[in-house]
C-alpha cells in the first residue's frame, strides 16, 4: 500500500481530480433518487404536474454533470494507473541494473522478469479498482449519509450501523487471504520456472524421452497452484453475498422502523423511497468495493515482491572519494582470499601475483579450482573477502566502478548477444567505434569471414537468444565486442573453448599486436593456448600450486606437468621450444 501511495505522489493533481469526478458521479446516482422522492412528495401529493416537468429537466442536467464526471473519472483512472505502472517498471528495471551478481543470483532471472512484468501489472489492475470503485464506496456512503441525516436521524443510524460490520469483514478477509495469496504467487514463480526450463531444454528433454516426467513435474506444481487459487477465489467471491446480506437486513430494519414513523405521521413516504434508493446505491457500491478483495491480496504480494527489489542492497559499493581510473600500468593481487556471500568455504585462498602493462597472465587448473572466480573479482562482480586487488598500486575499491569496468574487456565463457544487427552487437563494446574499427575487431576475432558470408553481412540480425549463430560464432562476436573497446585489461574466461584449434591459433596470432599495451588475463583449458604467456598461475582447489613460465612450471610443478602431458606429447612440448 505504501508503495502505491509513494508512486501516486507525482500524480496528486490527477488523484484529486479523480476524487472530484467521483463526487460528480455520486451526485447523479444519489441526486436523481432525491429528486424523484421530491416529485412524489411534492408533485404527486399536490398533484402539481408543472413541478414534475421542472424536476424532470433538473434530472436531465444532473445526468449530464454525472456523465461528464464519469468520463473524467475514466480518464484520470487510466492515466494514473498506467503512468504509475510505467514508473514502477522503470524504477524496478533501473534498480536491477545496479544489482551485483550476488543479488542477481539471489532473485533469479525469471523471478525478476515476473516481478518487472506481472507484478507491476497486478498493481495496475489493483490501482484501477481503487481509483474507480473503492474510492466510490466511501464517497457514496458519505453523501447518502449526509442526505439522510438531514431528513431522519434514526433511519440514517441504521445505515451507519452497517459500516463497522463491513469494515470488520474487510479486515477478516484480508487476514485470511494474505497467506494463501502468498503461497499462490510463490507457486506461480515455480510454475514459470519449470515452463522456462521446458523451453530451454527442449532438445535434451526430447532426446531423453522425458516428456512424461516433465509433464508430471509441471502438473504437480500446477495442481498446487490450482488448489491455492481455488481457496483464494472462493474466499474472495463469498464476501460480496455476505456484505449484501448485511445491507439487506438493514433494509428490512428501515422498513420496520419507517412503518412505525409513518404510523406516527413523522415520515413521508417519498422520503422512505429516497432512503431505500440511497441504501440500494450504497449496496451497489459495496458490491463494487468487493472487487478490491479480489485484487488486494494479489496486489499486496506483488507490491511486496517489488519492494524486495528496491530494498535489496548491493554489497558492491563505491567509496565517496572514489577516483576515475584512466590508464592501467599494473595489476596486483595481494593475498586475496574470497568466499561467495552464501558459501562457507573460501573459493580462493591467499592468491598473490602481479602483472605489468604488456604482459599476459594465464590461469590453469582443474574444474572448480577457482579460475573463473578469480578473474571475476577484477571487474568487481564480487569484492574480495580478505587481502586486496590493486591497480597502479591503489585498491580497486577506491576507483569509480564505471571507470574501472570501462578499462576492462571481458569475454565470458557463455557469450550473450542481444537482438539487433551484428554491427550493433559489436558496437555494444564501444558506442563511438568507427566502421573501420568494427571491421578490424571482427578481423582480429576471426569473425570477419563468417560475417561476410551472411546474407546481410554486418547488418545481419541476431534473434533473441542468438539462436541463429553457432556457439563458436557467438564467442568470436563477443571477442570482437570486447576488442572494439581497446581495453587496457583483457580478460578471457575460457573464451576460446568453442573454437577449433585452427581458429584459436589464428585468433591469438592476430590478437598479439592489438594488446601490446594491455594486460591480458586468460583462463584456459588448453596448454597450447597459454604456453607463451609471461606468467602462468596454476590453481588447485583455490590455492596457488604453481606460478611461473611454461618451461619453469614443466620442471617444478607436477600439477602443471600432468595437465600439459595429458594434452601434448613429450615431443610437442619441446617442439614449442
Considering only residues 238 to 257 of the shown chain, the ones binding another protein according to CB under 8 A are 238, 240-242, 244-245, 248-249, 251-252, 255-256
Residues of span 439-478 touching another protein by CB under 8 A = 450, 463-465, 467-473, 476, 478
Q: Is the dihedral of CA 420, 421, 426, 429 positive or negative?
A: negative
- Looking only at the bridges linking them, the beta strands covering 535-540 and 519-523 are unpaired
Which residue's CB is nearer to another protein, number 305 or number 485? 485
Residues 6+ apart with CB under 8 A from 120: 85, 88, 89, 92, 302, 306
**C-alpha span between 361 and 370 (Å, rounded):** 15
Q: Considering only residues 307, 327, 414, 555, which one is a binding residue for another protein as defined by CB under 8 A?
A: 414
Which residue's CB is nearer to another protein, number 259 or number 335? 259
Q: Considering only residues 4, 19, 59, 545, which one is a binding residue for another protein as defined by CB under 8 A?
A: 59
Q: Is the dihedral of CA 237, 238, 241, 247 positive or negative?
A: negative
Cβ at position 523, least distance to another protein in Å: 10
Cβ at position 43, least distance to another protein in Å: 5
Residue pair 348/374 in contact (Cβ under 8 Å)? The answer is yes
* Residue 80: other Cβ atoms inside 10 A: 23
Q: Considering only residues 183, 305, 349, 405, which one is a binding residue for another protein as defined by CB under 8 A?
A: 405
Q: Considering only residues 330, 385, 388, 528, which one is a binding residue for another protein as defined by CB under 8 A?
A: 528
- Between CA 238 and CA 245, with CA 242 as vertex, the angle to 5 degrees is 145
Q: Interacting stretch for another protein, rule CB under 8 A, among 162-170, 323-331, 349-357, 407-415?
A: 407-415
Which residue's CB is nearer to another protein, number 3 or number 136? 136
Q: Considering only residues 152, 360, 503, 544, which one is a binding residue for another protein as defined by CB under 8 A?
A: 503
Q: Considering only residues 331, 396, 479, 527, which one is a binding residue for another protein as defined by CB under 8 A?
A: 527
Residues of span 285-324 touching another protein by CB under 8 A = 288, 291, 294
498 scored as a contact of another protein (CB under 8 A):
yes
Residues of span 267-286 touching another protein by CB under 8 A = 268-269, 272-273, 276-277, 280-281, 284
Which residue's CB is nearer to another protein, number 398 or number 532? 532
Q: Give the N- to C-terminal CA distance of the chain in Å, as an integer.
A: 71
**C-alpha span between 180 and 176 (Å, rounded):** 7
545 scored as a contact of another protein (CB under 8 A):
no
86 scored as a contact of another protein (CB under 8 A):
yes
- Looking only at the bridges linking them, the beta strands covering 408-411 and 489-493 are parallel
**C-alpha span between 311 and 305 (Å, rounded):** 10
Cβ at position 153, least distance to another protein in Å: 20
159 scored as a contact of another protein (CB under 8 A):
no
Q: Considering only residues 6, 167, 196, 461, which one is a binding residue for another protein as defined by CB under 8 A?
A: 196
Q: Interacting stretch for another protein, rule CB under 8 A, among 69-77, 153-161, 163-171, 436-444?
A: 69-77
Across the beta sheet with 394-395, what order do the strands follow?
348-356, 330-338, 386-391, 394-395
Residues of span 504-523 touching another protein by CB under 8 A = 504-506, 508-509
Residues that contact another protein, how many (by CB under 8 A)? 197
Residues of span 344-403 touching another protein by CB under 8 A = 344, 364-369, 372, 379, 381, 402
DSSP 231-244: HHHHHHHHHHHHHH
Cβ at position 225, least distance to another protein in Å: 7
Residues of span 87-126 touching another protein by CB under 8 A = 89-90, 93-94, 96-99, 101, 104-105, 108-114, 116-118, 121, 124-125
556 scored as a contact of another protein (CB under 8 A):
no
- Alpha-carbon Rg for the chain in angstroms: 36
**C-alpha span between 560 and 563 (Å, rounded):** 5
Cβ at position 311, least distance to another protein in Å: 19
Cα 302 to chain centroid distance, Å, stands at 11
**Structural element, H or E, at residue 45:** helix 45-46
Per-residue contact flags (x/-) with another protein for residues 205 to 244, judged by CB under 8 A: xxxxxxx-xxx--xx--xx-xx--xx--xx--xx-xxx-x
Cβ at position 404, least distance to another protein in Å: 10
Q: Considering only residues 531, 533, 536, 537, which one is a binding residue for another protein as defined by CB under 8 A?
A: 531
Which residue's CB is nearer to another protein, number 32 or number 160? 32
Q: How far is CA 521 from CA 159, 363, 394, 530, in A?
A: 78, 8, 19, 10
* Residue 90: other Cβ atoms inside 10 A: 12
Phi, psi of 379 (to 5 degrees): -80, 15
Residues 6+ apart with CB under 8 A from 308: 107
Amino acid at each position: 500500500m505504501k508503495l502505491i501511495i509513494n508512486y501516486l505522489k507525482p500524480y496528486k493533481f490527477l488523484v484529486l481530480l479523480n476524487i472530484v469526478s467521483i463526487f460528480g458521479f455520486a451526485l447523479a446516482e444519489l441526486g436523481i433518487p432525491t429528486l424523484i422522492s421530491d416529485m412524489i412528495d411534492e408533485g404527486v401529493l399536490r398533484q402539481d404536474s408543472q413541478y414534475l416537468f421542472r424536476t424532470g429537466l433538473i434530472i436531465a442536467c444532473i445526468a449530464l454533470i454525472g456523465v461528464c464526471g464519469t468520463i473524467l473519472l475514466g480518464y484520470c483512472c487510466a492515466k494514473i494507473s498506467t503512468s504509475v505502472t510505467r514508473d514502477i517498471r522503470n524504477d524496478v528495471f533501473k534498480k536491477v541494473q545496479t544489482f551485483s551478481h550476488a543479488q542477481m543470483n539471489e532473485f533469479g532471472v525469471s523471478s525478476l522478469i515476473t516481478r518487472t512484468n506481472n507484478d507491476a501489472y497486478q498493481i495496475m489492475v489493483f490501482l484501477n479498482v481503487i481509483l474507480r470503485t473503492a474510492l466510490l464506496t466511501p464517497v457514496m456512503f458519505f453523501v447518502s449519509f449526509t442526505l439522510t441525516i438531514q431528513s431522519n436521524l434514526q433511519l440514517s443510524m441504521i445505515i451507519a450501523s452497517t459500516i463497522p460490520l463491513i469494515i470488520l469483514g474487510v479486515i477478516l478477509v484480508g487476514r485470511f487471504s494474505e497467506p494463501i495469496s502468498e503461497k499462490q504467487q510463490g507457486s506461480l514463480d515455480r510454475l514459470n520456472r519449470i515452463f522456462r526450463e521446458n523451453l530451454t531444454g527442449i532438445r535434451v528433454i526430447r532426446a531423453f524421452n522425458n516428456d512424461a516426467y516433465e509433464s508430471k513435474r509441471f502438473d504437480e506444481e500446477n495442481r498446487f497452484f490450482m488448489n491455492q487459487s481455488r481457496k483464494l477465489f472462493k474466499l474472495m467471491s463469498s464476501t460480496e453475498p455476505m456484505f449484501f446480506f448485511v445491507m439487506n437486513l438493514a433494509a428490512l430494519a428501515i422498513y420496520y422502523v419507517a412503518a412505525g414513523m409513518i404510523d406516527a405521521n413523522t415520515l413521508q413516504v417519498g422520503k422512505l423511497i429516497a432512503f431505500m434508493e440511497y441504501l440500494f446505491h450504497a449496496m451497489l457500491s459495496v458490491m463494487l468495493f468487493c472487487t478490491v478483495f479480489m485484487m488486494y491480496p494479489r496486489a499486496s504480494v506483488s507490491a511486496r515482491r517489488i519492494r524486495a527489489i528496491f530494498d535489496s542492497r548491493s554489497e558492491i559499493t563505491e567509496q565517496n572519494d572514489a577516483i576515475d581510473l584512466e590508464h592501467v600500468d599494473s595489476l596486483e593481487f595481494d593475498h586475496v582470499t574470497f568466499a561467495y556471500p552464501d558459501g562457507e568455504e573460501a573459493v580462493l585462498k591467499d592468491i598473490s601475483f602481479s602483472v605489468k602493462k604488456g604482459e599476459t597472465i594465464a590461469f590453469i587448473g582443474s574444474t572448480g579450482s577457482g579460475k573463473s572466480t578469480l578473474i571475476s573479482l577484477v571487474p568487481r562482480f564480487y569484492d574480495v573477502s580478505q587481502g586486496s586487488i590493486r591497480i597502479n598500486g591503489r585498491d580497486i575499491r577506491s576507483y569509480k566502478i564505471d571507470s574501472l569496468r570501462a578499462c576492462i574487456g571481458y569475454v565470458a565463457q557463455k557469450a550473450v548477444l542481444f537482438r539487433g544487427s551484428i554491427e550493433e552487437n559489436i558496437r555494444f563494446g564501444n558506442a563511438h567505434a568507427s566502421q573501420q574499427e568494427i571491421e578490424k575487431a571482427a578481423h582480429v576475432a576471426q569473425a570477419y569471414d563468417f560475417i561476410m558470408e551472411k546474407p546481410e553481412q554486418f547488418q545481419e540480425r541476431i534473434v533473441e537468444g542468438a539462436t541463429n549463430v553457432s556457439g563458436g560464432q557467438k564467442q568470436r562476436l563477443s571477442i570482437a565486442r570486447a576488442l572494439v573497446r581497446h581495453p587496457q585489461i583483457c580478460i578471457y574466461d575460457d573464451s576460446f573453448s568453442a573454437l577449433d584449434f585452427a581458429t584459436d591459433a589464428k585468433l591469438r596470432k592476430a590478437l598479439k599486436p592489438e594488446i601490446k599495451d594491455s594486460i591480458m588475463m586468460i583462463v584456459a583449458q588448453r596448454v597450447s593456448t597459454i604456453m607463451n604467456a609471461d606468467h602462468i598461475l596454476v590453481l588447485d582447489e583455490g590455492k596457488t600450486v604453481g606460478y611461473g613460465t611454461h618451461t619453469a612450471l614443466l620442471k617444478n610443478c607436477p600439477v602443471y606437468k600432468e595437465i600439459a602431458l595429458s594434452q601434448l606429447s613429450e615431443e610437442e612440448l619441446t617442439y614449442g621450444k
